[in-house]
Structure 1
């Protein structure tokens, strides 16, 4: 009988953990870091000084959600003036992810042209939520 309770307890804990992770996926969070001078070199190089906002997508080679994120952010940036999207593969550069405090891929970080972090999204972004979060930082209409 004890084994049944252990299995049931494990299933309940796993279900709660899965629900929490699913709820956090794609959620837009406020910026974690502000000093632009601390940016890793690959990120600083990727920033587009001509764009108001650059979305830096932190990816890895075999990350399937990264492909979905790329398919969402690329066209969004193409349709929006002042918005740029860069996909940065950190498979062979784990120090970049560590310096940015990235624990999972994909993670998308929005930066101003000066390197100031505006917001970040862990997982595949929810399109409408991301557009709403980017509106205050762009002068053009987002994604229309």
Structure 2
């Protein structure tokens, strides 16, 4: 009988952990202050208002989905650029940026200042809405729902 209770408790804990992780996926969070590693600083586009730096790893399936979302968003949005950094062989980069999971997307200003970050697969409309203060979308005809 003890084994049944242990199994039931394990299933409940697993379900709760899954629900918490699902709720946090794609959530936009506040920026953090840190020194940019050289590889990240070199990836910044000085001509862009915002550079989306996607932190990925080689075998990350959600990273591929994130890459499609962010590259499409950058193609459609003036002043927005997307860079994908694979940190599989460079864990010190993820550590320096306080990245605990992949994909993580950092929105960086042209001077390297972090504007916001997204853990998991971002929702394009929510991300564009959060970036509106940093992008000039008034003359472009872009709307967050596109």
Give RMSD over aligned pairs: 1.1
SS class of match (1:67): helix
Distance 1:81 1:127 in 2: 15
Contact kept in structure 2, 1:135 and 1:142, CA below 8 Å:
no
- Which of 82, 95, 101 is the matching residue for 1:98? 95
1:2 alignment partner in structure 2: 2
The alignment partner of 1:49 has SS state of coil
Residue among 41, 46, 51 paired with 1:49: 46
**Residue of structure 1 equivalent to 2:18:** 18
Whole-Å Cα distance in 1 between the matches of residues 126 and 102 of structure 2?
19
CA distance in 2, matches of 1:45, 1:139: 24
Long gaps (5+) in structure 2: none
The two structures have a TM-score, normalised by structure 2, of 0.93
Distance 1:124 1:86 in 2: 15
Distance 1:142 1:70 in 2: 21
Q: Does 1:89 align with 2:86?
A: yes
Q: Distance in 1 between matches of 2:114 and 2:105?
A: 11
CA distance in 1, matches of 2:13, 2:59: 28
- How many residues align structurally? 141
Distance in 1, matches of 2:143 and 2:64, equals 21
**2:56: which partner in 1?**
59
Aligned to 1:122: 119
Query: Which structure 1 residue ranges, 4+ long, deviate > 6 Å from structure 2?
Result: none
Task: State the shift of 1:107 in Å.
Answer: 0.4
Unaligned runs of 5+ in 1: none
